[in-house]
Structure 1
C-alpha cells in the first residue's frame, strides 16, 4: 500500500510540478502585492499627504468626479479604504465594452490616477490572473483548481509517507549524495509547511472549482452574455446606502459597493459586522438594496450565520495570510515558495532514483555474462 501511494505521490508531483511552482511563486508575490505596488507607484496607489483626521468626500461626489473626468467609463464597483493611506479603487467599465478597469481615487481630495488601468496592467491583476487562471479565463480556472486538488493530495500523502517526521525533520545529510540530500530537504520543507499547504490546497480548490461550477450552472441555458448597461437612477440612493446598511446591521462597516445595472437594478453591499475577528474577511456580511426604492431585499450578518458560512468567510485571510499582520504575511510568503522547492527536490529525486534503478538493472543483467566469463 505504501509503495503504491509513494508512486502516486511521485507521478502526481511530477505532473503538477511546473504549475504548482507558478502558483506558489505568484502567491508569494500576492501576499505583499500592496506593499510592492506602493513602492513602485506611490503616486497612483497612495493618498498624498494623508491625514487620518481628514473627512472623506461624499461617495456621490466621488463617483460624479470619476465619471465626469472619464466620460467613456461608468462605475461597476467601489472598494473603500477607510482610514488608510491607500486610495479607494473604482472598478470601471468602458461604455459598450465588457472589460473591467481599475481607477485609484483619493477619497479626501477626489484626485484620481491619470487613467483607468486594465486589470492586467496592475501588478495585482496580472499576478492574480496568472495565479488563478493562467490567463485562460474559466478554462484556466478549472485547470488551476485541478492542480490545487493535486497539491492537496500531495500534502495528505506526504503526511502519510513521512509519519515519523519528528525524528528526521531537521536532519540534512550534507555530505551524502544529491538524491539523499534532496530527500532530506524535500521531507523537511514538506512537513514544515503542511499546515499552510493544506490551507492553500483546500481554499484554492474550493474557490476555483465552485466558481467554474457556478458559471456552468448559471449560464447553461444562455447563448451569450449581454453587455451590462448602467442603471440611470442609481445616484438617488447612493449617499444613503451606508445608513441603510447600518439600519439593517447596526455597526456595519461598508467596504464594497457593487453597482446596479439595467438588467439587475440592485446595489450589492459587502462589509463587516461589528466585532469582526482576524479570521473574518472584509466582505463577509452583505446587504442588498433596490436602486429605485432603497428597499432592503436581503441582509446577511456573518455573526449570526452558521458554521460553514463562517468557515468560507475565513478562507480569504487564511489563503493570503493577512490575519496576523506582517508576521503571518512573512510566513505565508515563505510557504508560497515551498511548491517550487518541493517540485525541484522531488524532480531531482525522481530522476536520480530512475537512474539508480536503471544502473542496478544493468548490473543484474550483466552478472550472468560475467559469471560465464569467469567459468570459461
Structure 2
C-alpha cells in the first residue's frame, strides 16, 4: 500500500507540473481546436459576399475557374484550388503574382467559375493555423502537447481513483475551490473517451510525420510513388491533347473509383508537362489521405488507402477523427461543446494549483507564528 501511495504522490506531482508548464498552450490549442470545427462556416460568415452565392449541385469545372482567373489577373500563378462543398458555395484559388511573393486567396463562383475577388477574411484559417502550428513552430510542437494532454488524462484518472463513486457528487455549497475541484474531476471523467481520442490523434498528426521522415532517412527509403510512376510510364500519354484539369479530374475518378475530390494542386499549369494533383476522400469511407498526381497527362503518384494496408488506413483516419469533419452539423456541435472541456480543464487545473499553493503558503505562515 505504501508503494501505491508513493506512486500516486509522484503521479500527482508530475500531473501538476505538466499541467502548469503546458497549461496555457493546451488552453490555446484546445480552444482553437474546438472553434476550428466550424472553420468553413466561420470563413463564410466572415465574408458576406460569399454568403450570397447560390449552392449548386454540379459546380463548374476547374478549367472555367482558371480561365476566368487568367483573364482577371494576367500572369498569375495558381498553386492550388479547393472545390465547393455543402458549406462553401465557391471555388477558392491560392495563387501568387510574379511581382508579389505573398500568396493570394481568391474566390470564384461555383456555378460558372467567374472570379469574385480576393477573400476579405480568413478567420477560420486563423484558428486552424493557431491550432495546428501555434503560428510560430513546426507541427511536432503541437504533437508533443498532445502527448502531454494524454499523460494528464491518464495520470488524472489514476490519481483520482475514487472519482467513479463521486461522479454524481458536486459539492456546490462548499468553497469555490472544492466546487471547482469536483467539477474539474467530473468533467475529466465524463469526457474521458473523447479527450483520449483528441489527445492521441493530435499527438499522431504532429509526431507521425517526424518519425516517418526519420525512418525514411535511416532506411534509405525511396520516394513514395516511384513504383506507380514506373507502371504509369507504360500508359499512353494524354498530353497530346490540350492541357485540361477537367479532363485529368475525370481521369482521376476513373483511375480511383469512389474518389471525392476536395482539392487540386497545380505545378506549372501553363505547360503541357504540368503536374496536377487531386486529393480528397472516398465514398462511404473516412480516409482523408487519398491522392493522385499526373505529370504531362500521365499518372505518376497514387495513394489509395483501400489497397495500401493497415497503416495507411490508420493514418488516413486520424485527421477526420481529430477535427470531426466526417459528419453533419450535429456532430460538429458535439465536437465543439465537448472539445471546449479540455480547454476549461487546463484553465481550472491551473487555478486549482495556484489556490492550493496559496493555502500551503498561508499554512506555513500560520505555523511559523505559533
Bin for the TM-score computed over the shorter chain: 0.7 to 0.9
Does residue 149 (structure 1) correspond to residue 147 (structure 2)? The answer is yes
**Alpha-carbon shift at residue 12 of structure 1 (Å):** 0.8
Q: C-alpha root-mean-square deviation of aligned residues, in Å? A: 3.0
User: Are 1:95 and 2:98 counterparts?
Assistant: yes
Does 2:15 align with 1:9? yes
Q: For residue 122 of structure 1, what is the aligned residue in structure 2?
A: 122
Q: TM-score, normalised by structure 2?
A: 0.81
1:244 is matched with which residue: 245, 251, 256? 251
CA offset at residue 133 of structure 1?
Answer: 2.1
Question: Partners of 1:298 and 1:83 in 2: how far apart?
Answer: 28
Cα distance, 1:23 vs structure 2 = 1.3
For residues 312-351 of structure 1, the C-alpha deviation after alignment (integer angstroms, 9 at most, x for no partner) is 1112221112233222211211223223321232122212
Q: Distance in 2 between matches of 1:144 and 1:157?
A: 20
1:19-74 CA-partner distances (Å, limit 9, x unpaired): 11111221122112222332332423x4623343xx43332121111122122532
Whether the aligned pair in 1 keeps the contact of 2:65 and 2:115 (CA below 8 Å) is no
Structure 1 residue 166: Cα displacement: 2.4
The residue aligned with 2:342 is 339
What is the TM-score of this pair, normalised by structure 1?
0.80
Query: SS in structure 1 opposite 2:89?
Result: coil
Number of residues paired by the alignment?
A: 341
1:288 lines up with 2:296 in the alignment: no
Given that 1:92 and 1:116 are in contact with CA atoms closer than 8 Å, whether structure 2 keeps it comes out as no
Contact 1:47 1:87 in 2 (8 A): no
Inter-partner Cα distance in structure 1 for 2:274 and 2:212: 21
Q: Alpha-carbon deviation of 1:167?
A: 1.5
Q: Provide the residue aligned with 2:301 in structure 1.
A: 298
Report what 1:371 is aligned to: none
Deviation at 1:78, TM superposition (A): 1.4
Shift of 1:305: 2.9
2:140, 2:134 → 1: CA distance?
A: 10
Task: Give CA deviations for 1:220-246 in whole Å, capped at 9, x if unaligned.
Answer: xxxxxxxxxxxxx99614232123213
| Aligned residue in 2 for 1:25 | 31
Write the deviation string for residues 95-119 of structure 1: whole angstroms up to 9, x where unpaired.
Answer: 25554332121121223332256xx
Q: Counterpart in 2 of 1:56? A: 59
Cα gap change, 1:196 to 1:96, in 2 (>3 Å): farther
Long gaps (5+) in structure 2 = 1-6, 218-239
Provide the C-alpha distance between the structure 2 equivalents of 1:261 and 1:217, rounded to a whole number of angstroms.
Answer: 31
Distance (Å, rounded) in 2 between the aligned partners of 1:4 and 1:237: 63
8 A contact 1:148–1:205 mirrored in 2: yes
CA contact 1:152–1:202 (8 Å) conserved in 2: yes
Contact in 2 for aligned 1:67/1:75 (Cα 8 Å): no
Assess if the C-alpha contact under 8 Å between 1:252 and 1:272 holds in 2.
yes
Give the secondary structure class of the aligned counterpart of 1:358: helix
CA 1:251/1:17 → structure 2, altered by over 3 Å: closer, same or farther? closer
* Counterpart residue number, 2:333: 330
SS in 1 for 2:146: helix
- Partners in 2 of 1:355 and 1:116 — Cα distance? 50
| Residues 234 and 260 in structure 1, CA contact (< 8 A), matched pair in contact too | no
Aligned pair 1:318/2:321, yes or no?
yes
What whole-Å deviation, never above 9, does each CA across 1:185-225 have from its counterpart, x for those lacking one? 11011112222222222222222334566789999xxxxxx
Question: Which of 176, 179, 182 does residue 177 from structure 2 map onto?
Answer: 179
Task: Provide structure 1 residue ranges, at least 5 long, that are not aligned to the other structure.
Answer: 220-232, 368-376
Does residue 1:65 correspond to 2:54, yes or no? no
Residue 135 in 1 paired to residue 141 in 2? no
Tell me, yes or no, if the aligned pair for 1:13 and 1:343 is still in contact at 8 Å.
Answer: yes
Matched residue of 2:200: which SS? helix
Structure 2 CA distance, aligned partners of 1:102 and 1:252? 25
Task: Supply the distance in 2 between the matched residues of 1:95 and 1:148 (Cα, whole angstroms).
Answer: 40
Residue of structure 2 in register with 1:225 after alignment: none
Of 204-213 and 181-190, more deviation after overlay is shown by 204-213
